[in-house]
């Protein structure tokens, strides 16, 4: 497969030469990169990373299969009324969003690849060759997703409209893919010009978090929204602002050629669809390339080379204040003992700096809200479901599903890419490691769960009124108990002491069942007593008694019970 890609790229050698690219060096770089890709797991097969290397060789086929299934899923847009223009506009929009998400979420290491700089930069390779090789490498990656994703829609158009319309659709998909690739690259390159590499890493991390939430929300909510949307009478011509939306250009271009209506405006859309991707190519290579590699090299380190002038200046004029940071105040307020306090502060600081931790935990908070909207729409018409919401007990779903977000946070506290630094735990004179475990648990509780639960409580009070306040308090105690029980049984590793992405296979099924079953059982029990204040009070007393028994047992965990 790689030889086919190399041959296709070689067909455009005259174009690469006009852009100032050394074609022989370009071919050599791409051959090596594609071989390296075949020898390491990809983003779609990370769940199999602990299996044999023989199984990892089929990672490309896994990408193709998943993308093909997604393509069949997108065929739902052709059931929407309103004609091919509306349907193709929706399809191209979904395609562009998902392609961009794939680029940002799964191929970030390719988009901002610094490892090859150690080999390429010392050699006589110009900036344009390096940038074009990186862009073409990305295009090869993305083609493994784009081609199977577009095959179902291509087949549908081929059968329902004809060969010429399907061929024009395939060309537009190729042009839109090029536009997505160069658009994301241009944004990255521009960001590297306008901000520091370290700041750019932080921004990119939050972009990845936002897009992972968006994908999850689209997957669950888009089918229901399309089923309920009344699009039969929609005429896109009534919305002139769509003329500036790139996906509308592609949809209108396809409609013009397929229907044979070549008006002046239609020719304009065709011109934009064909020309804009190549303008983007010229901008990336000619405008952004010169200083890109210099900035990119700064990203290879885990931190900045040294404090910037602004940081030094800020430190020099920083006034002396007797106020303690917020996390120190919390640690002194809710922890007991020096080691528990230090563990609390350590976890608080590292979770604020670890991009991997944020990427795994922050989306889980939004997933709770997406599930809530999903089940709300599942009850029928959205407006009717919202109007009937105060008469329901859906607030219990919000309360107990929040425990999943808390479990995600405390489960990821043990993993770090700097896990070898955990030797300090064993060098320090710590008699009872349970204090370290409890400090980490309390830090996750205060930093991640309580603010999120406060948001849920405010929403519930707004919708259901003050009558649910006892249920909210009981739910808070129950969720803390659920997570403390989970930590007592399974969380026996010290904070950030385990290698990132290393999962223990034994007991995963039981752990997953516990995560789902225990909050469910608690929620069902709470459902039957909701509204009965004395039963709620009794349930709360039982929960407090269980916390009183379990808390000291977990805090007094001995070294023999700690997993190394």
Instruction: Give the model's confidence band at 401: pLDDT under 50 very low, under 70 low, under 90 confident, else very high.
Output: confident
479/116 Cα distance (integer angstroms): 47
Mean pLDDT, residues 181-207 taken together? 72
- For residue 187, pLDDT over 60 is answered with yes
At how many degrees (to 10) do helices 395-411 and 450-464 cross?
A: 170
CB 256 within 8 A of CB 262: yes
Report the 10 Å Cβ neighbour count for 544: 12
Structure pTM?
0.68
Task: Report the SS3 class of residue 499.
Answer: strand
Check the CA dihedral 465-468-472-473 and report its sign.
positive
Task: Report the SS3 class of residue 485.
Answer: helix
Report which DSSP code applies to 107: S
Res 443: pLDDT? 93
Res 515: pLDDT? 63
Instruction: Give the model's confidence band at 507: pLDDT under 50 very low, under 70 low, under 90 confident, else very high.
Output: very low
Res 180: pLDDT? 82
- For residue 458, pLDDT over 70 is answered with yes
Res 290: pLDDT? 58
Report which DSSP code applies to 77: G
269/190 Cα distance (integer angstroms): 27
Report which DSSP code applies to 430: -
- C-alpha separations of 411 from 35, 161, 329, 403 in Å: 36, 52, 25, 12
Beta strands (DSSP E) in 390-525 are: 415-416, 498-499
Lowest mean pLDDT among 44-53, 99-108, 135-144: 44-53
Lowest mean pLDDT among 20-34, 50-64, 154-168: 50-64
CB 414 within 8 A of CB 351: no
- For residue 485, pLDDT over 70 is answered with yes
- For residue 54, pLDDT over 50 is answered with no
Residue 382 CB burial class (10 angstroms; 0-12, 13-18, ≥19): middle
Task: Report the SS3 class of residue 416.
Answer: strand
Report the 10 Å Cβ neighbour count for 50: 12
**Rounded to 5 degrees, what are φ and ψ at 498?**
-115, 150
Instruction: Give the model's confidence band at 418: pLDDT under 50 very low, under 70 low, under 90 confident, else very high.
Output: confident
- For residue 79, pLDDT over 70 is answered with yes
- For residue 231, pLDDT over 50 is answered with yes
**Rounded to 5 degrees, what are φ and ψ at 337?**
100, 150
Res 151: pLDDT? 92
Res 322: pLDDT? 59
- C-alpha separations of 85 from 95, 162, 232 in Å: 15, 16, 12
CA 449 to the chain's CA centroid: 20
- For residue 154, pLDDT over 90 is answered with yes
Mean pLDDT (the chain, rounded): 78
Q: What percent of the chain has pLDDT over 70?
A: 76
Q: Which residues pair with 362 in a beta bridge?
A: none
135/308 Cα distance (integer angstroms): 31
Instruction: Give the model's confidence band at 56: pLDDT under 50 very low, under 70 low, under 90 confident, else very high.
Output: very low
Mean pLDDT, residues 122-139 taken together? 81
Res 128: pLDDT? 83
Res 425: pLDDT? 85
- Ordered DSSP codes for 257-326: HHHT---HHHHHHHHHHHHHHHHHHHHIIIIIHHHHHHHHHHTTSSS-SS--HHHHHHHHHPPP--PPPH
Task: Report the SS3 class of residue 415.
Answer: strand
Res 315: pLDDT? 45
Lowest mean pLDDT among 40-49, 202-211, 212-221: 40-49
- For residue 45, pLDDT over 60 is answered with no
- C-alpha separations of 307 from 155, 207, 312, 320, 545 in Å: 57, 25, 6, 20, 51
**Rg of the chain taking only CA atoms, in angstroms:** 28
Report which DSSP code applies to 231: -
Mean pLDDT, residues 507-521 taken together? 66
- For residue 479, pLDDT over 90 is answered with yes
**Of the candidates 236, 248, 238, which has an alpha carbon nearest to the alpha carbon of residue 272?**
248
Instruction: Give the model's confidence band at 53: pLDDT under 50 very low, under 70 low, under 90 confident, else very high.
Output: very low
- For residue 83, pLDDT over 70 is answered with yes
Res 503: pLDDT? 44
- For residue 59, pLDDT over 70 is answered with no
Q: Which residues, 6+ apart, have CB-to-CB distance to 492 below 8 Å?
A: 437, 557, 561, 562, 563
Per-residue pLDDT tens digits for 248-307: 888 889 888 887 777 778 888 888 888 888 887 777 667 665 556 566 555 554 444 444
Q: What percent of the chain has pLDDT over 90?
A: 17
Res 228: pLDDT? 56
Q: Which residues, 6+ apart, have CB-to-CB distance to 27 below 8 Å?
A: 6, 9, 10
Rounded to the nearest 5 degrees, what angle is found at the Cα of 521, between the Cα atoms of 516 and 524?
120
Res 47: pLDDT? 39
CA 340 to the chain's CA centroid: 32
Lowest mean pLDDT among 295-299, 333-337, 519-523: 295-299
Task: Report the SS3 class of residue 498.
Answer: strand
Structure-model confidence comparison of residues 182 and 506, the more confident one: 182
Task: Report the SS3 class of residue 152.
Answer: helix
- For residue 313, pLDDT over 60 is answered with no
Mean pLDDT, residues 547-564 taken together? 88
Instruction: Give the model's confidence band at 159: pLDDT under 50 very low, under 70 low, under 90 confident, else very high.
Output: very high
**Of the candidates 94, 257, 83, which has an alpha carbon nearest to the alpha carbon of residue 166?**
257
Residues in the chain: 564
**Of the candidates 121, 234, 139, 127, which has an alpha carbon nearest to the alpha carbon of residue 179?**
139
278/61 Cα distance (integer angstroms): 30
- C-alpha separations of 278 from 193, 202, 301, 456 in Å: 22, 30, 33, 48
Res 347: pLDDT? 92
Report the 10 Å Cβ neighbour count for 379: 14
211/450 Cα distance (integer angstroms): 24
390/386 Cα distance (integer angstroms): 8
Per-residue pLDDT tens digits for 341-371: 999 999 999 988 887 788 788 888 888 888 8
């Amino acid at each position: 497969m790689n030889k086919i890609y190399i041959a296709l790229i070689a067909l455009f050698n005259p174009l690469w030469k006009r852009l100032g690219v050394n074609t022989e060096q370009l071919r050599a770089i791409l051959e090596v990169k594609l071989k390296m890709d075949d020898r390491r797991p990809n983003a779609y097969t990370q769940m199999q990373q602990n299996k044999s290397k023989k199984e990892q060789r089929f990672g490309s086929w896994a990408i193709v299969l998943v993308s093909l299934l997604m393509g069949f899923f997108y065929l739902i847009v052709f059931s929407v009324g309103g004609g091919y223009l509306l349907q193709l506009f929706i399809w191209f929009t979904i395609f562009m969003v998902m392609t961009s998400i794939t680029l940002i979420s799964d191929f970030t290491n390719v988009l901002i690849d610094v490892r090859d700089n150690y080999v390429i930069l010392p050699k006589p390779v110009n900036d344009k060759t390096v940038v074009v090789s990186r862009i073409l490498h990305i295009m090869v990656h993305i083609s493994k997703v784009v081609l199977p994703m577009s095959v179902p829609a291509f087949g549908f158009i081929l059968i329902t409209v004809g060969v010429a319309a399907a061929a024009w659709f395939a060309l537009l998909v190729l042009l839109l893919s090029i536009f997505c690739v160069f658009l994301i690259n241009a944004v990255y390159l521009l960001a590297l010009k306008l901000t520091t590499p370290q700041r750019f890493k932080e921004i990119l991390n939050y972009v990845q978090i936002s897009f992972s939430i968006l994908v999850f929300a689209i997957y669950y909510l888009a089918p229901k929204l399309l089923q309920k949307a009344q699009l039969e009478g929609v005429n896109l011509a009534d919305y002139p602002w769509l003329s500036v939306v790139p996906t509308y250009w592609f949809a209108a271009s396809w409609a013009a050629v397929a229907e044979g209506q070549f008006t002046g405006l239609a020719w304009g859309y065709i011109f934009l669809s064909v020309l804009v991707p190549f303008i983007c190519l010229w901008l990336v290579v000619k405008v952004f390339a010169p200083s890109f590699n210099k900035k990119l090299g700064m990203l290879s380190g885990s931190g900045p080379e040294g404090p910037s002038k602004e940081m030094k200046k800020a430190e020099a004029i920083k006034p002396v204040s007797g106020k303690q940071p917020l996390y120190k105040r919390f640690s002194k307020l809710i922890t007991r003992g020096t080691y528990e306090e230090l563990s609390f502060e350590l976890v608080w600081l590292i979770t604020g700096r670890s991009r991997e931790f944020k990427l795994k935990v922050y989306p889980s908070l939004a997933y709770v809200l997406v599930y809530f909207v999903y089940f709300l729409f599942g009850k029928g018409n959205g407006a009717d479901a919202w109007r009937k919401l105060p008469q329901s007990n859906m607030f219990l779903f919000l309360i107990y599903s929040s425990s999943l977000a808390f479990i995600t946070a405390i489960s990821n506290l043990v993993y770090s890419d700097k896990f070898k630094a955990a030797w300090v735990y064993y060098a320090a004179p710590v008699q009872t490691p349970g204090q370290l475990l409890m400090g980490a648990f309390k830090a996750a509780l205060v930093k991640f769960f309580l603010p999120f639960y406060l948001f849920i409580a405010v929403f519930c009070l707004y919708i259901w009124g003050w009558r649910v306040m006892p249920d909210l308090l009981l739910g808070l105690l129950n969720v803390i108990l659920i997570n403390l029980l989970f930590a007592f049984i399974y969380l026996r590793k010290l904070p950030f002491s385990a290698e990132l992405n290393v999962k223990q296979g034994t007991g995963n099924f039981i752990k997953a069942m516990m995560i789902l079953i225990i909050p469910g059982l608690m929620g069902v029990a709470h459902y039957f007593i909701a509204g009965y204040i004395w039963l709620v009070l009794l349930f709360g007393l039982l929960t407090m008694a269980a916390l009183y028994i379990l808390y000291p047992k977990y805090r007094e965990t001995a070294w023999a019970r700690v997993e190394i």
